[in-house]
Amino acid sequence: MSRCCIYCRIGGTANEPNQIAMNSQLEMLRKAAEDLGLTVVAEVTVFESGTDPQRQSIKTLIRDGKHGAYDCVLIVDPSRLSRSTEGYTLIGQKLNRHGIRVYTPQGKIQLPPPHAFFYSRYHKEGENDFGPGK
């Protein structure tokens, strides 16, 4: 059974509606962990923007996993780690480097490869790999 850290992030302040949303997120992820056969050994709850991939909660998440506190992270969806493709790719690379797997309630997710940000940044909607209409 994998040792899991539940990571919950709500963008905004810890006001009453956001506290309710956080509790709902936690309940859903605790149930998902049980369904997925994961042992919850840590829970991280933060009220902060997901735009900065270098934020302290992510640094701590990676550090603790790197040092063996857990071997996987359970999130509601990838936007809880980062709100941007670039940030998500950067965080994914760091988690992968340390062998930390990422799960959602639907199961294990594949983190983007290192080249994903480059591709998404320069690939225009409607184009294939050979340019427009080719």
In the chain, domain spans: 3-122
- Residue among 24, 40, 7 nearest 109 (CA): 7
CATH of 3-122, one of 3.40.50.920, 1.10.10.10, 3.40.140.80, 3.40.50.1390: 3.40.50.1390
pLDDT tens, the chain, 134 aa long: 799 999 999 999 999 999 999 999 999 999 999 999 999 999 999 999 999 989 999 999 999 999 999 999 999 999 999 988 888 888 989 998 999 999 999 999 887 665 555 544 444 444 444 444 44
CB 6 within 8 A of CB 44: yes
What is the reported pLDDT for 13? 94
What is the reported pLDDT for 116? 52
Q: Whole-model pTM?
A: 0.81
